[in-house]
Amino acid sequence: MTMNIDDPQPATKTEKAPKKMDALKAAFPHTIPVFTGFTFLGLAYGILMYKSGYGVGWTFLFSLLVFAGSGQYLAITFLTTVFNPLHALLMTLMINARHLFYGISMLERYRNTGKLKPYLIFGLCDETFSIACTTKAQEGVEDRWFLFFITLLDHMYWIFGSVLGGLLGAAIPFNTTGLDFVLTALFTVIFVDQWKKQGGRRSAAIGILSSVASLLVFGPDGFLLPAMAVILVALSLLRLYDKSRKNIIEESTP
């Protein structure tokens, strides 16, 4: 987790602050939607942490060091039940397993990012990934600094929102019952966004059906791991099916 921005690197010694300013200017507009989103989600997270008995200092530490929205929401569950780090680790791994695939998608783009790479990977959350997927640095802006500032800004928004929530939770007494639904709402919205994109509808349906089936068989406490296994098998079969169909079409059309 190296965060020293001004640490000059031998290869880029001639390039001074203006270059970085350009990258910051190029990155900032792309992060504005994340600013609103993270302020709201962070706010809710900070309030929930406070209501669970964890002061703003803990919220700050979590947001600074973990920087994973759904993982942090999930961690509240572990903070409010019997201490069980192994269970916490397994659940965190499963809920964050999607990051594996963000990494795989970003292998090439992050390859030559030098000393910025560890921080870029550290901060590859859903939102940063979605910006990185859909944008490119314009002419004259170094892509690794562009990516760095997107990651850094997103990280700062998340810390800002959650700390604000922690402070507000202490200041304003109101009934927060049901506020944890914000996470369900977030995933539902992402699901709808993905559903609209056509290309992954079968996969999305597989995700829902495998999980529901697994939930019915294994119950709420142990269904996630079997669900993931079923999803992997189902997607592999889907891939084979598509390939064989493609081959049939290619063979039948001379």
Partner 1 sequence: MTLTPLQTLAIIGTAIAGTMFTRFLPFFLFRKAKSNHPYITDLGRLLPYAVIGMLVVYCLRNVRFDSPTHGLPEGIAIVSIVILHYWKENTLLSIGVGTGLYMVLIQTVFA
163 in Cβ contact with 46 (< 8 Å)? yes
Is residue 21 within the footprint of partner 1 (CB under 8 A)?
A: no
Per-position DSSP letters for 228-249, written without gaps between them: HHHHHHHHHHHHHHHHHHHHHH
Rounded to the nearest whole angstrom, what is the least distance from the CB of residue 84 to partner 1 in the complex? 9
For residue 78, state whether it binds partner 1 (rule: CB under 8 A). yes
Beta-carbon contacts of residue 56 (< 8 Å; ≥ 6 apart): 46, 49, 50, 163, 166, 167, 170
Using CB under 8 A as the binding rule, whether residue 238 contacts partner 1 is answered as yes
Shortest distance, position 146 Cβ to partner 1, whole Å: 19
| Exposure b/e, 58-75, CB count within 10 A at least 16 = b | bbbebbbeebbbbbbbbb
Tokens encoding 217:
């068989």
Distance CA 60, CA 199 (A): 38
- The two tokens of residue 1 are 């987790």
| Residue in 3, 5, 66, 225 binding partner 1, rule: CB under 8 A | 66
Q: Measured from the CB of residue 170, what is the shortest distance to partner 1 in angstroms?
A: 14
Tell me which stretch binds partner 1 (CB under 8 A): 2-10, 22-30, 87-95, 141-149: 87-95
For partner 1, which stretch binds (CB under 8 A), given 8-16, 18-26, 119-127, 139-147? 119-127
- Does position 189 bind partner 1 by CB under 8 A? yes
Choose the binding region for partner 1 from 11-19, 150-158, 161-169, 176-184 (rule: CB under 8 A): 176-184
Phi then psi dihedrals of residue 74, to 5 deg: -60, -40
The answer to whether residue 51 forms part of the interface with partner 1 (CB under 8 A) is: no
Of 85, 140, 173, 254, which lies in the binding site for partner 1, with binding defined by CB under 8 A? 85
Site for partner 1 contains 248 (CB under 8 A): no
Which of 93, 217, 229, 233 is in the footprint of partner 1 by CB under 8 A?
93
> Rule CB under 8 A: is residue 97 a binding residue for partner 1?
yes
Total H helices, total E strands in the chain: 11, 0
- Closest approach of Cβ 172 to partner 1, in Å? 14
Contact yes or no for 155/121 (Cβ under 8 A): no
Total count of residues recorded for the chain = 254
User: Is 208 among the residues that bind partner 1 (CB under 8 A)?
Assistant: yes
Using CB under 8 A, which residues numbered 126 to 165 contact partner 1? none
